A and B are shown apart, each in its own frame.
Chain A
Amino acid sequence: DTAVSQTPKYLVTQMGNDKSIKCEQNLGHDTMYWYKQDSKKFLKIMFSYNNKELIINETVPNRFSPKSPDKAHLNLHINSLELGDSAVYFCASSPWTGNTEAFFGQGTRLTVV
């Protein structure tokens, strides 16, 4: 059983389109995150949710909107995609915030053409 699963694994789309990435965790964790990893491998946090509530929004453009229908799911919707959005997006979860291991999904490689 996959602990943190993301779909799709690959996403190729044109500039200006809107797309979503889904994330689900079956670990019973309270906290979920979205990270963006660029071509230089820099891993940067975008959002943090605790029990469906937004905790952290790290100066991410408004075109990115996370949605957490329940604490096991954290989806990422991106409007008006730009070339600079191309990256690998990782979803992660942890039992609570701080002092604890984060489990990462396998990543979604987004390519905007």
Chain B
Amino acid sequence: QQPVQSPQAVILREGEDAVINCSSSKALYSVHWYRQKHGEAPVFLMILLKGGEQKGHEKISASFNEKKQQSSLYLTASQLSYSGTYFCGTEVGQGAQKLVFGQGTRLTINP
């Protein structure tokens, strides 16, 4: 079952913050976050496995709620290089052997 991302698109000025949400109606085994720049392949950002987990990657961090049905990606003091489409990918069980991706959130950072 496909997770739902919100918002679908965000436009920011450089230096502003953004939050992208990823929700599922079922408890998830894990959540993966990827970023895809235009015309390029998706690139891995991070994985969250445990309920209540938070992880950071420079100024990009993410959380996984206790019930493991929602994850949020936080982009702080955004840079031009953060522009792209962000996807959350979810696994519904250990060894599920597939990632089901949300529909993506397009982030545009303007100078």
Contacts and interface: CB of A to CB of B under 8 A. Distances in A.
Interface stretch (B19-27, B67-75, B93-101): B93-101
Contact of B87 (A43, A45, A56, A106): A43
Interface centre among B29, B44, B87, by most chain A C-beta atoms within 10 angstroms, is B44
Contacts of A45: 98-101
Given A98-B29, A105-B41, A106-B41, A48 B47 contact: no
Given A42-B103, A43-B104, A45-B100, A98 B94 contact: yes
A113 interface: no
Contact of B44 (A99, A103, A105): A103
Interface of B: 29-30, 32, 36, 40-44, 47, 49, 85, 87, 91, 94-101, 103-104, 106
